[in-house]
Amino acid sequence: MNWAVIMAGGVGERFWPLSRRKQPKQLQAIVTKRTMIQEAVARLKPLVPLSRMVVVTNREQAPAVRRQLPGLKHILAEPVGRNTAPCIAWAVQYIAQRDPQAVMAVVPSDSHIEDAKRYAQVVGAALELAGKENILITVGIQPSRPATGYGYVQTGKQLAPGFWRAKRFVEKPDLATAKKFVASGDYRWNAGMFVWSAAAATEAFQQHAPGVWQGVQGDYAAVEKISVDYAIMEKAGNVVVASGDFDWDDVGDWSAIERHFAKDAAGNVARGPFLGVDTTNCILMGDGKHLIGTVGVSDLVIVHTPDATLVCRKADAQKVRELVKQLPKRNL
Amino acid sequence: MNWAVIMAGGVGERFWPLSRRKQPKQLQAIVTKRTMIQEAVARLKPLVPLSRMVVVTNREQAPAVRRQLPGLKHILAEPVGRNTAPCIAWAVQYIAQRDPQAVMAVVPSDSHIEDAKRYAQVVGAALELAGKENILITVGIQPSRPATGYGYVQTGKQLAPGFWRAKRFVEKPDLATAKKFVASGDYRWNAGMFVWSAAAATEAFQQHAPGVWQGVQGDYAAVEKISVDYAIMEKAGNVVVASGDFDWDDVGDWSAIERHFAKDAAGNVARGPFLGVDTTNCILMGDGKHLIGTVGVSDLVIVHTPDATLVCRKADAQKVRELVKQLPKRNL
């Protein structure tokens, strides 16, 4: 039967001050009115019933996950985050025990996809193919720009319409390389969405990452911190790329917001009361009532929450992590 | 006897969002821990007892003035603001009725003076001189820079040590003219501080501004909106400039803040919790608890209050007025 694994363990540092340890990005309504994890669940519902969805999160976030997803039956709460390989290995074992014939989609909880219909078609076709073949499918997103922050996967021989053998993985290339990849037409973003049968995933873990596979049954904190890409995808010979020809945005930081909201005549994107004088190309995120007033500024991200305010140059939105890392040192 | 008139009717638009109609600049602790009007009263106390101080304010602010100045006996609450001439005419009449021999210092409530000792010496000497001569004294501040936002007064013949006849008034000169004034050594800032006897002031108003003088007894709203400089000082022949050789800052907008606080190594001035990454030369005004975090910004003023946040380019701090003017239109 079809299952889904939704990975929701991120701490969302780059969305400070909206995201906090207990309320990270995936549990926030950042782009739509539903939280990102609610959107992830809604997108999968045409393919998988809620009763066969497994959310892997951490102990701090589990209560909020339960609140946001009433009716969810399977929550795995990691005692500590160990990157994606242990998290996925645990979920695969959990599902295989309940349904050895299972086929599953493994997806992040914190990416935004507008075209949910095309998404369901692609993932649906992948689930079907993964039910017949001993393969590990990764959804390769058609790149819309030479992003240097993503991993890429090169497609090889076509297997079926919309599916190719994977030729090689490349982690975060430099800009020149990324441009070549985009121009070549046979490189796609490795967006962290996987489809496989419980049997194929079990075999891959046992062969390429036996330490992780066995480790998750014991002391979770002692398991290697490793991504599923490094642990199995880059090593396995049976990896297939599905054509992810839908929009996809990992909403990596505050600057991503403006890709999803209407701008005013001055290029500003505002949520909540805002009044700007000589203000252009800013992103303004308030709560419902608090007013943000600006004079003579451009290209800023301004975020108000009840206990903290962020003012950040849009181009430096990634660096919000650095600020968050300093908070505990300063007792803030 | 010595009296004092403290003018406290301003609305303080440029200190939004800290200042509001009912809590304008003079009723806020902006530079020191006391509010600006409390500082103004404290500075005058060596010369004038609280029982002979008259605060002219407006009806909205009067309750806050009473709260901040316990023991104050004389509050004149204008029904509407009509600039300084009507306000001063009213106060002069009020004092003359109680003490026809009165000599008074008339001062704004919202300027900052560090050297209170020298201030008291200068104003004390002016009160003494004004008690003997039929003159209108304005305190001329030694200019520290070629400011274009102030009025200047040129000094003429010396009358006594530290006192000269006034030669002419010049309102807000252009930069080239202001530079000439500063270089010449005989132009001073007209800081809106006056000293005169009730008799001399009465005569000046009756002669040069009889409409204002009589008008304030009737329908206040019908009185001409005019400054005391235009109404009497620029017309009278008996104006004297006192040497205001003390520091003086009208704290005109948020950018003035950094002249009065210590800067950190990156040139930032912060009140309240602040954490900056790649942040230089900013002014950060929080309340006690709310955290302001910044990344990659320079030369900004950031002010947090419970219901509004301002983010303003420091060089545009004057334009906060424009923002405030738009608030009612937008129902904010």
Q: For residue range B269-312, what is the model confidence (pLDDT) as tens digits?
A: 999 999 999 999 999 999 889 999 999 999 999 999 999 999 99
A-to-B residue pairs, Cβ atoms closer than 8 angstroms:
124
- Block residue for tokens 């995201």: A19
Question: Are B309 and A304 in contact (CB < 8 Å)?
Answer: yes
The yes-or-no verdict on residue A131 having pLDDT over 70 is yes
For residue A332, what pLDDT is reported? 67
Model confidence pLDDT, tens digit, residues B232-255:
999 999 999 999 999 999 888 999
For residue A184, what pLDDT is reported? 95
CB-based contact A166:A237 (threshold 8 Å): no
Which of B275, B308, B332 is facing A330, going by the closest CB pair?
A: B275
DSSP string, B134-162: S-EEEEEEPPSS--SSS-EEEEEEEEETT
Residues listed for chain B: 332
For residue B168, the cross-strand partners are: B154
Q: Is A266 at the interface with chain B, CB within 8 A?
A: no
Which DSSP symbol is given to B249? Answer: B
Write down the mean pLDDT value for chain A: 95
Residues 6 or more apart whose CB falls under 8 angstroms from that of A140 comprise A153, A155, A188, A189, A190, A191, A241, A242, A243, A244
The yes-or-no verdict on residue A106 having pLDDT over 90 is yes
The yes-or-no verdict on residue A297 having pLDDT over 80 is yes
Q: How far is A15 from chain B (nearest CA, A)?
A: 12
Q: How far is A25 from chain B (nearest CA, A)?
A: 18
Return the H-helix or E-strand segment holding A277: strand A274-277
The yes-or-no verdict on residue A21 having pLDDT over 80 is no
Q: Is A290 at the interface with chain B, CB within 8 A?
A: yes
Q: Is the peptide bond before B108 cis (omega within 30 degrees of 0)?
A: no
Cα distance between residue B294 and residue A313, in whole Å: 8
CB-based contact A157:A170 (threshold 8 Å): no
Question: Are A293 and B330 in contact (CB < 8 Å)?
Answer: no
Q: Which of A253, A300, A305, A311 to mutate to test the interface with B (most CBs of B within 10 A)?
A: A311
Cα distance between residue B112 and residue B251, in whole Å: 7
B61-100: b (≥16 Cβ within 10 Å) or e: bbebbeebbeebebbbbbeebbbbbbbbbbbbbbbbeeee
For residue B188, the cross-strand partners are: B153
Torsion of CA B72, B76, B79, B81, to 10 degrees: -100
Q: Is B272 at the interface with chain A, CB within 8 A?
A: no
For residue B332, what pLDDT is reported? 66
Q: How far is A332 from chain B (nearest CA, A)?
A: 8
Q: ipTM strictly over 0.90?
A: no
Spell out, as residue ranges, where chain B has pLDDT lower than 50: none
The yes-or-no verdict on residue A330 having pLDDT over 80 is no
Model confidence pLDDT, tens digit, residues A203-225:
999 999 999 999 999 999 999 99
**Residue B192 — left, alpha, or beta (φ > 0 → left; ψ -120 to 50 → alpha)?**
left
**pLDDT-based confidence at residue A288 (cuts at 50, 70, 90):** confident
CB-based contact B15:B253 (threshold 8 Å): yes
Range with lowest mean pLDDT among A102-106, A131-135, B179-183, B326-330? B326-330
Which has the closest alpha carbon to B276: B253, B293, B255?
B293
Cα distance between residue A202 and residue A99, in whole Å: 13
Cα distance between residue A261 and residue A249, in whole Å: 13
- Rounded average pLDDT over A56-70: 95
Which has the closest alpha carbon to A199: A97, A129, A102?
A102
CB-based contact A187:A181 (threshold 8 Å): yes
Model confidence pLDDT, tens digit, residues A5-20:
999 988 778 899 988 8
Cα distance between residue B190 and residue B178, in whole Å: 13
Give the count of beta carbons closer than 10 Å to the beta carbon of residue B265. Answer: 6
Instruction: Sort out which chain B residues have CB atoms less than 8 A from A272's CB and list them.
Output: none
Which has the closest alpha carbon to A149: A195, A190, A94?
A190
Residue B310, both tokens: 């301002």
In whole angstroms, how far apart are CA A74 and each of A5, A28, A46, B227? 10, 21, 18, 75
Question: Which residue type does B225 have?
Answer: K
CB-based contact B295:B279 (threshold 8 Å): yes
The yes-or-no verdict on residue A122 having pLDDT over 70 is yes
